[in-house]
């Protein structure tokens, strides 16, 4: 059903918190996402011409890099982009078949690949580019927040997290319930001033991005060593300095 | 946005078919088109042919055309589903109108004609709303998009109906509507283009709001996430060179609207049957070619917010 579930206070809102301060842009999250999702709920994920020029395929996570700010304040920021599991996602409501849906119990936005007709309207309706068409299978695919991992009782409890979160070597990605103000991810967002993307469009994205930490003042950089005569302790060198300075 | 040929053909052909159905259903009870059974059936047949060609073409755009029936289920939230429901529902009065014409139901056919006309308006309105409801695409979420779809559909439909009626020597009413429609279409598209050429509204998303990096300062892309293209860039990143857009706009405005307007006026002034038939056939060809150019531009000139992530614009 493509009507959205009613929003109740205190509702579970599973999502990701991505720390743009510590992300090093290594693409491990994107790679592990592809690895996990090539099988399971969304599998197979197609790759066209994988071993020649023009290689492309469906990925749920894309890591961009940006320059932000000017001069000493300027930063290079690596920016992983994936589904934000919005509270009011138009990608769900525009779906004519009911294949796109938002789960009432945890807020995850999913596609039923057995009823999707592959019209592509949901990809047009997503401002974030989170949905990519599987042109092999003729259906739309997207991030599932690893719904086949996080509730999977056949794997150790510590690993019941999205593949992108588990693999991040700098722990820049965090997973949790953003609907609970006392959860670890919510506290992290509050502490670091996490933001949502394109809030002006009103989709209510759940995922949060932690901004890069600001340097307190502009670092003057390394200084040249310029000793004064008083700094020279060796009497012979002091005498030479005196003679040569004459 | 990528102008998929299947959708360009769909909205042009179905739009013309629904416009023709609308004017046929409205003008027949008023006695402004030929009243005979032959004209009614031929005009209705032509409209249904255009509508069906368009709908079949739209199915070619689907990854799973055999599941298309599922698209009728979500009319509570989806304009695409509503369009499907309206299109299917309109076939019922069309069928009854055709039967009524063959079996001679008299005034009852007028009722079915009016119902079919209402269905045609509803369907084209839903088509327009599919585009006008998409927030990430500024050029589509514009107050002139729905009036544009309705106006172009009514214009092209009136032109084809006038061409058909001309064979019976009674084309003045639809030809007059075609001329008025051409003028209206010219005005709507010109206002629309003038508007989208202006600067983006102040609250439009930017790369700074798309990344949340605006607090640091001006943001620009440094490294792309992938070296080759992908679905997003092919589908949403399609952009036409400005020079070509200007040329196509002229083709649509002059060839698609101004020339048919002049031809329809000439057909009104010319007497007899031969000249109106020739002039209105030419007007129909020009209108349909101009509309294909216009509909192609409707996609090619539209920009999606996902391109902010890739190009910063």
Cβ of A97 and B74 within 8 Å?
A: yes
Residue B305 confidence (pLDDT) above 90: yes
**Under a CB-based contact definition with an 8 Å cutoff, are residues B70 and A97 in contact?**
yes
Residue B266 confidence (pLDDT) above 80: yes
Residue A215 confidence (pLDDT) above 80: no
B-chain CB neighbours of A99 within 8 Å are 70
Pick the range with the lowest mean pLDDT from A172-186, A222-236, B116-130: A222-236
Between CA A30 and CA A21 the distance in angstroms is 18
Residue of A nearest to B63 (CA): A138
Nearest to A117 among B64, B215, B221 (CB): B64
A165-178 pLDDT, tens digit per residue, is 999 999 999 999 99
Structural domains for chain B: 5-311 (1.20.1630.10)
B-chain CB neighbours of A48 within 8 Å are none
Length of chain B: 313
Confidence of residue A218 (pLDDT cuts 50, 70, 90): low
Residue A6 confidence (pLDDT) above 90: no
B135-162 pLDDT, tens digit per residue, is 999 999 999 999 999 999 999 999 999 9
Omega within 30 of 0 (cis) for the link into A44? yes
Residue of A nearest to B205 (CA): A198
**What's the pLDDT score for residue A7?**
80
Cβ of A120 and B235 within 8 Å?
A: yes
**What's the pLDDT score for residue A226?**
74
Nearest to B77 among A79, A93, A209 (CB): A93
List the structure tokens of B195.
Answer: 């508007």
Nearest to B232 among A116, A129, A139 (CB): A129
Helix (H, G, I), strand (E, B) or coil at B229: coil
**What's the pLDDT score for residue A8?**
81
Between CA B213 and CA A77 the distance in angstroms is 9
What ipTM was predicted for this assembly? 0.94
% of chain A residues with pLDDT over 70: 97
B-chain CB neighbours of A19 within 8 Å are none
Helix (H, G, I), strand (E, B) or coil at A102: strand
Q: Which positions ≥6 away from A236 have C-beta within 8 Å?
A: none
Cβ of B78 and A30 within 8 Å?
A: no
- In degrees, rounded to 5, the angle at the alpha carbon of residue B129 between the alpha carbons of residues B128 and B134 is 115
**What's the pLDDT score for residue B169?**
93
Residue A225 confidence (pLDDT) above 90: no
Task: Determine the straight-line distance between the first and last CA of chain A, rounded to whole angstroms.
Answer: 92
**What's the pLDDT score for residue A31?**
97
Tokens 């531009």: give the residue. B297
Between CA B237 and CA B239 the distance in angstroms is 6
B210-226 pLDDT, tens digit per residue, is 999 999 999 999 999 99
Between CA A108 and CA A92 the distance in angstroms is 11
B92-137 pLDDT, tens digit per residue, is 999 999 999 999 998 999 999 999 999 999 999 999 999 999 999 9
A-chain CB neighbours of B203 within 8 Å are 200
Q: Is the dihedral of CA A116, A120, A126, A129 positive or negative?
A: positive
% of chain A residues with pLDDT over 90: 78
| DSSP for residue B137 | B
């Amino acid at each position: 059903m493509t009507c959205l579930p009613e929003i109740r206070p205190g509702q579970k809102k599973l999502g990701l918190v991505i720390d743009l301060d510590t992300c090093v842009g290594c693409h491990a999250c994107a790679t592990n996402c592809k690895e996990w999702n090539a099988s399971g709920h969304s599998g197979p994920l197609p790759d066209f011409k994988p071993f020649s020029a023009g290689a492309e395929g469906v990925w749920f996570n894309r890591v961009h890099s940006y320059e932000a700010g000017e001069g000493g304040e300027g930063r290079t920021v690596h920016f992983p982009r994936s589904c934000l599991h919005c509270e009011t996602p138009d990608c769900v409501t525009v779906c004519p078949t009911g294949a796109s849906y938002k789960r009432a119990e945890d807020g995850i936005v999913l596609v039923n690949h057995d009823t999707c007709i592959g019209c592509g309207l949901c990809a047009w309706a997503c401002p974030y580019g989170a949905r990519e068409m599987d042109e092999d299978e003729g259906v739309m695919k997207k991030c599932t927040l690893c719904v086949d991992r996080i509730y999977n009782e056949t794997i150790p409890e510590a690993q019941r997290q999205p593949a992108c979160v588990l693999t991040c070597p700098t722990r820049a990605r965090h997973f949790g319930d953003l609907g609970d103000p006392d959860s670890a991810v919510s506290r992290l967002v509050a502490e670091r001033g996490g933001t949502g993307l394109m809030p002006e469009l009103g989709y209510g994205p759940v995922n949060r991005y932690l901004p890069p930490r600001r340097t307190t003042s502009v670092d003057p950089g390394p200084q040249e060593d310029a000793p004064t005569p008083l700094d020279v302790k060796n009497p012979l060198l002091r005498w030479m300095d005196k003679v040569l300075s004459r | 946005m990528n102008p998929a040929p299947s959708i360009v053909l769909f909205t042009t052909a179905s739009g013309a078919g629904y416009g023709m159905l609308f004017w046929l259903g409205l003008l027949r009870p008023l006695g402004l088109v030929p009243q005979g059974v032959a004209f009614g059936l031929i005009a209705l047949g032509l409209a249904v042919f255009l509508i069906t060609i368009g709908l079949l073409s739209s199915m070619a755009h689907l990854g799973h055309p055999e599941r298309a029936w599922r698209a009728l289920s979500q009319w509570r939230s989806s304009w695409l589903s509503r369009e499907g429901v309206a299109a299917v529902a309109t076939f019922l009065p069309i069928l009854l109108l055709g039967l009524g014409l063959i079996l001679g139901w008299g005034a009852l056919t007028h009722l079915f004609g009016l119902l079919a006309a209402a269905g045609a308006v509803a369907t084209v309105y839903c088509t327009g709303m599919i585009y006008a409801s998409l927030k990430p695409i500024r050029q589509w979420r514009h107050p002139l998009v729905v009036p544009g779809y309705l106006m172009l559909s009514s214009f092209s439909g009136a032109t084809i109906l006038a061409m058909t009626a001309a064979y019976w020597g009674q084309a003045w009413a639809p030809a007059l509507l075609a001329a008025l429609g051409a003028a209206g279409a010219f005005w709507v598209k010109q206002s629309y283009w003038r508007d989208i050429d202006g600067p983006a509204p102040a609250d439009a998303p930017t790369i700074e709001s798309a990344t949340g990096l605006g607090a640091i300062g001006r943001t620009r892309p440094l490294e792309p996430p992938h070296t080759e293209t992908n679905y997003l860039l092919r589908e949403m990143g399609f952009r036409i060179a400005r020079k070509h857009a200007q040329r196509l706009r002229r083709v649509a405005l002059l060839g698609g609207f101004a020339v048919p307007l002049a031809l329809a006026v000439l057909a009104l002034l010319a007497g007899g049957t031969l000249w109106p038939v020739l002039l209105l056939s030419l007007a129909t060809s020009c209108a349909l070619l101009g509309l294909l150019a216009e509909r192609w531009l409707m996609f090619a000139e539209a920009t999606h917010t996902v391109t902010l992530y890739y190009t910063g614009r």
